[in-house]
Structure 1
Amino acid sequence: MAKVSIVDIARLAQVSPSTVSRALQNHPRISPERRAEIVALAEELGYRPSQAARSLVTGQSTTLGVVASDVTDPFVAEVLKGVEGAARDAGYGLLFAMSNRNPKQEIEAAKALLGHQVDGLIVISSRAPQRYASLPRGTGGERTPVVLLNNEFTAPGLYSVRMDNEGGATAAITLLYQLGHRHIAFIAGPEGGRSSQERLTGYLHGLEVNGIQPRAELVLSGAGLLEDGWEALDALRSLAPRPTAVLCYNDLAAAGLLAAAANAGLAVPGDLSVVGFDNIPISAYTVPPLSTVEQPKAAMGRAAVKTCLRALAGEPAPTMVLSGHLILRASTGPCRVREAE
């Protein structure tokens, strides 16, 4: 069946196409009676305006752009579920681009999406948040709102949705302290990343509030990847005194550490307790199942869309900080020998 056009409706209603167009836009020059007739006829014929036509009329694309660091990252995938659902419920479509964890590619992707006239932009785990303050975003004095998800930078037109990373990391260290651990290592995340810095700060704060002296050698560099945990084990085992517990930047690094421990014949949690961060789906199925700090991933995605729509409507859109919580599984247990405090 051929797609119904404004010309088809005009012919049947015996009016001009411009009259049909005005009626469907609720133009004041069209009488309520005439408009009702035309709208009823359009509905009967199954007329649907094209997105391009709607954009010309409203000046909006009803499309949001999303720059994702890596869609193969389970954290990003769960966030995207929340973004997609909230956008769909609000009548918005999405355009995606990937940055591959590269700041230069991220900005190029953002520029490309803005070039498609998206109404708003959501950037997941930005590696270059400060660049958006000077990035051209719209014309005529209007600036396309940019929501930084899992990051923050203060500038006009920039908004933020993030988690309380410090609080989550501190809670994890307190749990390990209560289990008797005193030598606790931390496998860090991407260098320069806000969430990585916040989790490191939370780790150090957790040591401080529990009276544990920090040791610089217990903080290992990483990038939030599986291989971080795998490669960290040899370094951890070479330390004296050897750490009995490890907080990882994310669940991927923790999963790599669990695999390395099993390969080396170490018992988890008997020889080493491990805590991850994010609660991605695989964390419940590692061996043993991983204790982790859950991030409300889908909720963060929904909150990012809500923030973007508020900004588009000219409403206040303050930074949203969501709380996570500890999920205890079998990768954590009491320290075998309680150490001197």
Structure 2
Amino acid sequence: MPPSEAGPAAAPTPPKRPTGRDVARLAGVSQATVSLVFSGSDAGHRVSEATRERIREAARSLGYRPQAAGRQLRLGRSGMILLAVPNLLGPFFGRVLTGVHEEAGKHGLAVVVSSGWGSATLADAAATSRFDGLLVCSPDDSQLGDLPPDTPAVFLDADPAVNRGRPTVELDVAGGMREAVEHLAALGHRRIGHLRSTHSAYTFRVRQAAFEHATRDFEVVELGVSLNEGRQAAFEAAHRLLGGPDRPRAVVCDDDVVASGLYQAAAELGLRIPADVSVVGIDNIPVAELLAPPLTTVDLPGEELGRAGVTALAALLRGEPAPEVAPLATTLVLRSSTDPAGEPS
């Protein structure tokens, strides 16, 4: 038949979608084991973590995606968890979210992130079963109401004493604050300023208590800063702190955003960092390395915090007890924003 008389070309056969059977064959396990792992119901079946990871790796290489809708109908689950943070724009919470996403993918979970939710909204989200479980990070006091008792929930950077027995993953923020003050003391500073957060949250109360204890033999000048008002509020507080004739020659800031506001105030006042004022922050967000000079700061391991939280929540979803986690260690990262004490220039 001439080409002009040929019929329409046959449509290409769509590529075959990989199945659980394909994953099982590649991973060297039974199809039932694959189903157990991706349904999250392998508790009590003694599927080792090495086997689970081999199955997940096989699924990734094949492009296999479990049928989420069918899984939800079978298990009454959505496959989603909620991460509640105080401020979506806070750089530290971006680090936490990175860790949460990394770990959630290993457990077949999707993550929804929210900001500024009070206890009533969190309780409603849990009660309506929109989410399989909750991660509540650095909660302020308005988020500490009662959640439904059967809601799987894990608290991050929070007070374990008020979470009614729910798993809590803490950061050693007290140890980090002590290390910051001890660093300045080792440089000879005995009059230390503090730009402290006025946010009503456990993590900042711990920082404040640790600062007060570490500086009990020093002269202290403190000003409060509302973190919700951002760097402008920090700039104004720092301007007051550094603008007088009897300014402190060293300052600890409750987070790195506040420290960046202090840098701005120092520049406007003609003060040099660290020659005229030494500065230490807390968080170790990416901007800390970009400041001039780079900021000495306490690293809070946000990614590790997020991963540990998901690990605990995934255990709860499998019907297992959450593993106990010691407070995550913080580290003072020494850069160029501190100098030995001396006479003001």
Deviations 1:144-176 (A, max 9, x none): 121111212434462211211111101100100
TM-score, normalised with respect to structure 2: 0.75
Q: CA deviation at 1:203?
A: 1.0
Tell me the SS of whatever aligns to 1:280. coil
User: What per-residue deviation string (whole Å, max 9, x for no partner) do you get for residues 218-273 of structure 1?
Assistant: 12111333224311223213556421111001000001101110121101111111
Q: Secondary structure at the match of 1:158?
A: coil
2:226 to 210, 213, 223: 223
**Which residue of the partner structure matches residue 335 of structure 1?**
341
Provide the residue aligned with 1:251 in structure 2. 256
8 A contact 1:151–1:162 mirrored in 2: yes
Q: 2:241 matched to which residue of 1?
A: 236
Preserved CA contact (<8 Å) 2:141 2:200: no
Partners in 2 of 1:168 and 1:49 — Cα distance? 42
| Native 8 Å contact 1:152 1:159 kept in 2 | no
Question: Residue 79 of structure 1 contacts residue 300 of structure 1 at CA under 8 Å; is this kept in 2?
Answer: yes
Cα-to-partner distance string for 1:118-165 (whole Å, 9 max, x where unaligned) = 221001221137634x2235xxxxx11211112124344622112111
Q: Which of the numbers 161, 167, 171 marks the counterpart of 1:159?
A: 167
Contact 2:140 2:199 (8 Å CA) reproduced: no
- What residue number does 1:32 align with? none
**Contact 2:231–2:261 (CA<8 Å) still a contact in 1?**
yes
Q: Quick one: distance in 2 between partners of 1:49 and 1:232?
A: 53
2:148 aligns to what? 136
User: How far, CA to CA, are the matches of 2:164 and 2:72 in structure 1?
Assistant: 25
Provide the residue aligned with 2:275 in structure 1. Answer: 270
Matches within 5 A, 1:175-194: 175-194=183-202
1:283 matched to 2:291? The reply is no
* Alignment partner, residue 314 of structure 1: 320
Letter of the structure 2 residue corresponding to residue 334 of structure 1: P
TM superposition shift of 1:61: 2.7
Deviations 1:77-111 (A, max 9, x none): 11100000100011111122221xxx63x642552
User: Matches of 1:96 and 1:72 in 2, distance apart?
Assistant: 12
| Equivalent AA in structure 2 for residue 84 of structure 1 | H
Q: Secondary structure at the match of 1:227?
A: helix
Q: CA separation in 2, counterparts of 1:193 and 1:48?
A: 40
Q: Where in structure 1 are there 5+ consecutive unaligned residues? A: 5-23, 26-42, 138-142
| Paired residues of 1:144 and 1:157 also in contact (CA < 8 A) | no
- Give the aligned partner of residue 302 of structure 1: 307
User: Which amino acid in the other structure matches residue 125 of structure 2?
Assistant: A
> Which amino acid in structure 2 is aligned with residue 270 of structure 1?
A
Q: In 1, distance between residues paired with 2:335 and 2:75?
A: 52
1:121 aligns with 2:134: yes
Aligned partner of 2:336: which letter?
A
- Residues 242 and 49 of structure 1, relative CA distance in 2, 3 Å threshold: closer
Structure 2 residue matching 1:333: 3-state secondary structure:
coil
Determine the C-alpha separation between the residues in 2 that align with 1:316 and 1:135: 18
Equivalent pairs counted in the alignment come to 290
Q: Match of 2:153?
A: 146
TM-score of the superposition, structure 1-length normalised? 0.76
- The corresponding residue for 2:88 is 71
* Partner SS for 2:213: helix
Partner of 1:88: 105
Offset at residue 177 of structure 1 (A): 0.7
8 Å contact 1:95–1:113 — kept in the other structure?
Answer: no
Structure 2 counterpart of 1:201: 209
| 1:187-228 residue CA offsets vs partner (Å, 9 max, x unmatched) | 1114321111111111112113xx325x4xx12111333224
**Cα-Cα RMSD:** 3.1
SS at match of 1:247: strand
CA–CA distance in structure 2, aligned partners of residues 185 and 308 of structure 1: 40
Deviation (angstroms), 1:75: 0.3
Give 5+ residue unaligned stretches, structure 2: 1-13, 18-34, 37-58
- The structure 2 residue matched to 1:55, chosen from 72, 76, 81, is 72
Structure 2: how far apart are the matches of 1:265 and 1:220?
A: 21
Is the Cα–Cα contact under 8 Å of residues 98 and 109 in structure 1 kept in the other structure?
A: no
1:21 paired residue number: none
TM-fit CA distance, 1:52: 2.3
In structure 2, the residue corresponding to 1:322 is in which secondary structure?
A: coil
| One-letter amino acid of the counterpart of residue 68, structure 2 | Q
Using the aligned pairs only, state the percent identity: 32
Aligned partner of 2:177 in structure 1 is 169
Q: Contact 1:67/1:110 (CA < 8 Å) preserved in 2? A: no
Structure 1 residues 131 and 206: CA distance shift in structure 2, 3 A? closer
